[in-house]
Amino acid sequence: MTKLSRNHSIAKVSAIPNLRYHPSQRFVLRRLDSGHAADFAADVRRGLSASPKFLLSKYLYDELGSRLFAAICALPEYYLARVESEILAAHAGEILGLLEGPLRLLELGSGDAEKTPLLIEGLLARQGQLRYLPIDISESAVEASGEKLLLAYPGLSITAFVADYQEALQALSRLIAGAAGAAGAAGAAGAAGGSAERTLALFLGTTLGNLEPDEQHALLGALRRLLRPGDGLLLGVDLKKPASLLLPAYDDPLGVTAAFNLNLLVRIHRELGGEFDVRRFRHLALYDPERGRIEMRLESRVAQTVPIRDLGMEVAFAAGETVHTESSYRFDPDQLAELARATGFALWRSWTDAEGRFGVFLFTPF
C-alpha cells in the first residue's frame, strides 16, 4: 500500500486553528489539547515534586512512544493484543449483527487502529459508507492510521480528535447534538452527525485499565451521556490472572517495554530540558495483587540530582527510588459488569478466548 505523502495528505486551514482536513474532505483532524505543552510542564513539575514521585502515563505516547507501543503489540510476550484480535476476528460478524444499522464507529484510544479494520470491513460491507471517529492523545498515531485507513477503504470518512478522552467526548457530544460552535462545525459535524445513525463505541486493548477506578467510572459515565439506547459499547479488557502469567508481557527480554517506559525521560529531556541520563534509570514492572494492577516504574540506579531547565527545578533521586509511570488494572467480568451498570450500561454479550485470558464485552445503554 502506498503511503500518502505527509505534506499532501492533510492540509492546515489557517483561519481555524487546530483543525486540519484532507483535501478529499474525507479526513478532518481536530486537535483539542491546545494547552498541551503547558499541561505537560505543569504535570511533570507536580509529579516529580510529589512523594512518591509519579509521571502520568498519557505522556508515554509521543511519536516514538506510540511507535514503541505498536512494537510492544507485536511482541510474543504481549499476548493481549494478539488474543483480542483473535476474539474480534472470530466474532465481528456476530457483534455487528446485534446492532441495528446504519452505524458510525467511535473509537477511544485508537492508536494505530490495527484492530479496527476487523469491524470497519463488516460495516462497509453492510452499509457502503462509514463515519469513523477516532480519539487519541497521539497526533502522529491518529494521522498515520487515518491515512492508511482512507487509502484502504474508499467508503470511509474520518473525523479524528487528538485530545484527552473527556475533552473529546465533550466536543463530540456538542457535535452530535448539532450545537457545535462556528469554527469548523460544518465539516466536523457533518462527519459526526446524522441522527438516524447509531453509534458503536470501541474501547479496546484494555486501555480502560490505564485509568484509575474513579476515572474509569467518570469516563464510562461521559460515554453513557453520549450514547442512546440501541447504541453499543464494545470494551476489550485483560482479565485477572496470576502475576507469573502477566509480568512477562510488561518486562520483555528484548527491552521494548523498557524503552517505552524510559522514553518518558527522553521526552522530558527534549521538551523541557531535563538532563536525564536514561542509563542511570531502569524499567520495573510489578504486580500489586490487592489493587489488581500492573505498575510500571522507573527506578533510579544511583543517587543523583537532575536539573530540568525549563521548569527551573532540580530533582533529587535516592538510589533505588522509583517514579510511578503507569498502572494497568486487570478486570474480572462481574466487576466490569458492575462498573458498567453503575454508569448506565447493561451487558449485552461477552466473548473470551479458550483460556479465559482476555474478554470482549458488548454493553448497551439502559
The alpha carbon of residue 248 and the mean position of all alpha carbons in its chain are separated, in whole angstroms, by: 22
Of 114 and 326, which has the nearer Cβ to ligand AVI? 326
How many other C-beta atoms lie within 10 A of the C-beta of residue 96? 19
For the CB of residue 256, give the shortest distance to ligand AVI in the complex, in Å: 9
For the CB of residue 357, give the shortest distance to ligand AVI in the complex, in Å: 13
For the CB of residue 23, give the shortest distance to ligand AVI in the complex, in Å: 32
Residues 282, 320: contact at Cβ < 8 Å? no
Of 250 and 276, which has the nearer Cβ to ligand AVI? 250
For the CB of residue 229, give the shortest distance to ligand AVI in the complex, in Å: 29
Which residues does 335 contact at the CB level (< 8 Å), separation at least 6? Answer: none
Alpha helices per DSSP H over the chain? 6-9, 36-49, 63-73, 79-98, 117-127, 139-152, 165-176, 185-192, 213-226, 243-246, 256-272, 333-342
Minimal CB distance residue for ligand AVI: 328
| Distance from C-alpha of 15 to C-alpha of 361, rounded to nearest angstrom | 42
For the CB of residue 248, give the shortest distance to ligand AVI in the complex, in Å: 11
- Contacts with ligand AVI by CB under 6 A lie at 72, 205-207, 209-210, 250, 257, 296, 326, 328
CA angle 285/289/294 to nearest 5° reads 30
Using the structure block, give the residue that is written with the C-alpha cell 516504574.
297
For the CB of residue 205, give the shortest distance to ligand AVI in the complex, in Å: 5
Residues 56, 323: contact at Cβ < 8 Å? no
